[in-house]
Structure 1
Amino acid sequence: MTAYVLTAIQYGVFLIFVVLAMMQTYAALYSKEERRFMRNRVKRNLRKQNEVTKKRAAESEVTLMFGEAHLPWMNTLRFALLRVIGLMGGLMYLSFTTSWTNTVLFMVFWLVLTEPLFKFSLIRLYLARRIKKITEKKEGELFSLFAMLKTDLIGNTRDEINVYHLLKDTLPYVYYIKPMVNQFLRQWKESPQTAGQNFESALGGETAQFLGDFLGGLHRMDRDNALQVLEEQNEVFGHRRSEMLLQKAEVQRNSFYTFFFLSAFAVIGWFMWFMFQMTSQSMNF
């Protein structure tokens, strides 16, 4: 142990002298103004490269996936850093507690399961499932917004429609589409049509398309015409809502079937292995 410490000290002292010699050589070759110019140029290049890296990270597929999954604090660089930290921690732990085979297997499985660009990785499947659930909740809130608009218009006795206050009253009852509704309210004062188009493009889907067109032109309608338009779409919305509920129920039913099938298969496999072990022990005796 002492020999290693002495060797480290020798190499450390040698490295310090090398760095000092390089600094003196640098000071002798360049003047003070040239050194200041070179430092500023290096800083500008680093700053420019940092901005380019941040822009690429912000526009990458992984960052977009985390944003759609309502995890805006996570981006490509942060996730890559977490992967490296988890990999290094696991390798250090396993290298002291188990064999090299298990360590290599852990490294392979970790890199595959945490690769977001791999279609069947664990993190990709988790993000896809989370995005799907959020999309379903957004769709449900759009149906609720449709119902609340219809109820408010029925309860309103005035022919003139106050679009801004009509939508503002629905904000406490929505969560996932609340940013889009707030954006619509901000843009509505400047251009209702543009606000409706942005509302549609931000959410996507037939339901958002109808509501975006409806809200963008609501200021030109009176109460009776608005109720007539909503009544015409009521059957379509009801059918789509029922279809979504049926699809969700089918997915749950298939999940339960898969779970019970795997459980039964695991029990049968364990029983067969148990009988094989008992038979082998009996034959050995």
Structure 2
Amino acid sequence: MTAYVLTAIQYSVFILFVVLAMMRTYAALYSKEERRFMRHRMKRHLRKQNEITKKRTSESEITQLFKEAHLPWLTNYRFAVVRVVGLLSGMLYLSLTTTSTNTILFLVGWAVLTEPVFKFSLIRLYLARRIKKITEMKEGELFSLFAMLKTDLIGNTREEINVYHLLKDTLPYVHYIKPMLNQFMRQWRESPQLAGQNFEAALGGETAQFLGDFLGGLHRMDRDNALQVLEEQNEVFGHRRSEMLLQKAEVQRNSFYTFFFLSAFAVIGWFMWFMFQMTNQAMNM
């Protein structure tokens, strides 16, 4: 043990003298102004590389997936760090408690299941399911917004429509589309048409397209015309709402069917294996 300590001290002293020699050589080769210029150039280069890295991170497909899944604190680089930490922790634990085969299986399984580039990896399937669920919730809140706008306009006795206060009253009843509504309200004061276009682009879909156009031009309508437009779209919205509910019910039925099928198959397989083991033991006795 003492030999290792002495060796470490020797190498540390050697590295220290090498660093001091390099610093003296650097000071002798370049003047003070040149050193200052090189430091500023190095800082500008690092700052530029940092901005490029941030831009690539923000534009990454994986980062966009995390944003759509309402996980904005996760980026592709942060998720890569999480993967590496999880991989090293799992391999360290398995290497101390089990065989090397299990460690290799964990390495392969972790690398495949947590790779977001693979369309059928566990993390990609989880993100896709979460995004689909959030999209359905946004669509449901858009239907609710449509109904609340219609109810508020029916209950409003004034012909003039105050778009800002009309939307502000609906904010406590929505969650997933609340940021888009806040953005619309901020932009509406400058350009209602642009605010409606951004609202449509942020949400996407036919429902958002109608509501974006409707809200963008609502300030030019009176109460009767606005109600007439909503009434004309009422049947379309009702049909789309019913279609979404039917699709959701179909997915639930398929999920229950798959679950019960796999459960029954597992029970039958276990029973066959149990009978095989019993028969094998009886024949060997």
User: What does 1:39-50 align with in structure 2 at a 5 Å threshold?
Assistant: 39-50=39-50
The residue identity in structure 2 corresponding to 1:85 is V
SS in 2 for 1:157: coil
Give the corresponding residue for 2:27. Answer: 27
Distance 1:231 1:33, change over 3 A: same
Q: Which runs of 5+ in 1 are unaligned?
A: none
Distance 1:46 1:162 in 2: 50
Aligned to 1:62: 62
After superposition, give the CA deviation of every residue in 1:186-219 in whole Å (9 maximum; x if it has no partner).
1111111111111111111111111111111111
Distance of aligned partners of 1:266 and 1:14 in 2 relative to their CA distance in 1, 3 Å threshold? farther
Q: List aligned pairs for 1:143-182, cutoff 5 A.
A: 143-182=143-182
Equivalent residues, number: 285
Structure 2, unaligned runs of 5 or more: none
What is the TM-score when the length of structure 2 is the normalising length?
0.94
Alpha-carbon distance, 1:151 to partner: 0.6
Residue 159 of structure 1: SS of its match in structure 2?
A: coil
What residue in structure 2 maps to residue 261 of structure 1? 261
Specify whether residues 282 and 27 from structure 1 end up closer, same or farther in structure 2 by C-alpha distance, changes over 3 A only. farther
CA distance in 1, matches of 2:101, 2:17: 42
Identity of aligned residues (%): 85
Structure 2 partner of 1:97: 97
Q: What is the Cα deviation at residue 6 of structure 1?
A: 4.6
Q: Distance in 2 between matches of 1:108 and 1:16?
A: 42
Q: Output the aligned Cα RMSD.
A: 1.6
Task: Map 1:202-241 to 2 at 5 A.
Answer: 202-241=202-241
Secondary structure in structure 1 of the residue aligned to 2:214: helix
Deviations along 1:120-161, one digit per CA (max 9) or x if unpaired, are 111111111111011000000000010011111111111111
Superposed counterparts of 1:102-141, under 5 Å: 102-141=102-141
The offset of 1:91, in angstroms, is 1.5
Distance 1:38 1:48 in 2: 15
Please give the TM-score of this superposition, normalised by the length of structure 1. 0.94
Structure 2 letter corresponding to 1:69: A
Comparing 274-283 with 3-12, greater Cα deviation is found at: 3-12
Q: State the distance in 1 between where 2:105 and 2:41 align.
A: 45
- CA shift, 1:10, in A, is 4.0
* Cα distance change of structure 1 residues 166 and 18 upon mapping to structure 2, 3 Å threshold: same
Worse-superposed segment, 8-17 or 251-260: 8-17
